[in-house]
């Protein structure tokens, strides 16, 4: 009888424990779903924001190297000079509806426009997915938009306009100082500033040693990369620099081997710097796992 009673008591205990745990686990499941839903909304919102920002970047990419205002006049067809209608200025959609041709003169519209918009949207969505609801997300959205615009200009014209670089640097610095002041992230800010100074100093020396292969625009760009990656940590600084040079070397060797580029021909190094930094931002946590024990 006693043994039976013990089994019954044990079964009652297990039932009572299960009944206590079930509402708790269900509550945690609801919380996870709620967080996933909010993160999904953030990603979608950033993707849509990226389309709008990408449309603006198209203006920046075309006008800034030509020293034109990005505010006025309103966008117009470069062939017939007809102003672009509001309904024809919807990111990606308008390009598709117009069949990549001007509504007025039927001149072809470059695929660069929807491509930049889609790339910006993808970069923003990826940053949101990686960083989530963090205060530094806006600063990195600005950084990524800047890197895309500068990369496109550098690839086309082999120049990195200082207006874009300095504007981005001021915006990022101001945001990081605000975060440091509100949440006491002074150590992160210090590492970011040291990183920016280190990148600038290194690239300044490289430019001094070989200005033909490394322009001073790359030296200015190094400030942005050092600041942004430094905020994430010094390992990101090293990873971004390593990836930029690795990618640049691989692509450079491939172009020389296929005789699409001469050995003495300069390359748009800013493009490779941007790619290296972007990979470090998106894939850094995974790529740096083997080095987590290094302090």
Does residue 118 sit within a domain?
no
Distance CA 122, CA 145 (A): 11
DSSP string, 157-203: HS---HHHHHHHHHHHHHHHHHHHHHH--HHHHHHHHHHHHHHHHHH
Confidence band for 258, pLDDT divided at 50, 70 and 90: confident
Would the pLDDT of 15 be above 50? no
Does residue 46 sit within a domain?
no
Q: Greater confidence, 151 or 253?
A: 151
Which pLDDT belongs to residue 294? 58
pLDDT tens, 195-253? 999 999 999 998 888 887 788 999 999 999 999 999 999 999 999 999 988 988 888 78
Q: Greater confidence, 280 or 5?
A: 280
Which pLDDT belongs to residue 159? 92
> Which residues partner with 83 through β-bridges?
76
Does residue 60 sit within a domain?
no
Does residue 229 sit within a domain?
yes
**Residue 244: how many other CB atoms lie within 10 Å:** 23
Range name among 20-34, 95-109, 122-136, 170-184 with the lowest pLDDT average? 20-34
Distance CA 219, CA 61 (A): 20
Distance CA 77, CA 80 (A): 6
Does residue 55 sit within a domain?
no
Which pLDDT belongs to residue 26? 77
Task: Tell me which residue range forms the domain holding 157.
Answer: 134-295
Mean pLDDT across 12-22: 45
Chain mean pLDDT for the chain: 87
* Chain centroid, CA 1 distance in Å: 71
Does residue 239 sit within a domain?
yes
Does residue 158 sit within a domain?
yes
Distance CA 128, CA 183 (A): 21
At 119 the three-state DSSP class reads: helix
Would the pLDDT of 76 be above 90? no
Total count of domains within the chain: 1
> Which residues partner with 101 through β-bridges?
108
Distance CA 136, CA 232 (A): 10
Supply the pTM of this predicted model.
Answer: 0.86
At 108 the three-state DSSP class reads: strand
Would the pLDDT of 4 be above 50? no
DSSP state of 110: P
Contact 159, 165 (CB under 8 A): no
Q: Which two tokens stand for residue 295?
A: 């302090």
Does residue 144 sit within a domain?
yes
Would the pLDDT of 21 be above 60? no
């Amino acid at each position: 009888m006693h043994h039976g009673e013990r089994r019954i008591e044990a079964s009652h205990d297990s039932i009572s424990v299960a009944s206590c745990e079930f509402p708790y686990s269900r509550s945690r499941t609801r919380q996870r779903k709620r967080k996933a839903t909010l993160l999904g909304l953030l990603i979608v919102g950033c993707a849509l924001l990226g389309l709008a920002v990408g449309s603006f970047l198209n203006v920046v990419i075309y006008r800034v190297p030509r020293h034109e205002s990005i505010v006025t006049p309103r966008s117009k067809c470069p062939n017939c000079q007809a102003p672009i209608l509001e309904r024809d200025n919807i990111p990606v959609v308008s390009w598709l509806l117009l069949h990549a041709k001007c509504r007025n003169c039927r001149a072809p519209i470059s695929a660069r426009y929807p491509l930049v918009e889609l790339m910006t949207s993808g970069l923003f969505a990826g940053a949101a997915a990686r960083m989530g609801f963090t205060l530094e997300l806006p600063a990195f959205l600005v950084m990524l938009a800047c890197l895309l615009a500068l990369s496109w200009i550098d690839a086309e014209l082999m120049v990195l306009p200082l207006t874009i670089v300095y504007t981005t640097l001021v915006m990022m610095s101001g945001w990081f100082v605000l975060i440091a002041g509100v949440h006491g992230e002074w150590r992160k800010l210090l590492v970011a500033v040291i990183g920016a100074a280190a990148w600038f100093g290194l690239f300044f020396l490289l430019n001094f040693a070989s200005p033909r292969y490394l322009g001073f625009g790359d030296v200015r760009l190094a400030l942005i990369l050092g600041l942004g990656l430094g905020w994430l940590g010094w390992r990101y600084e090293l990873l971004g620099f390593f990836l930029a040079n690795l990618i640049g070397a691989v692509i450079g060797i491939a172009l020389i081997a296929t005789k699409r580029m001469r050995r003495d021909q300069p390359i748009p190094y800013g493009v490779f710097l941007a790619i290296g930094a972007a990979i470090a931002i998106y894939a850094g946590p995974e790529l740096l796992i083997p080095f987590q024990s290094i302090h």
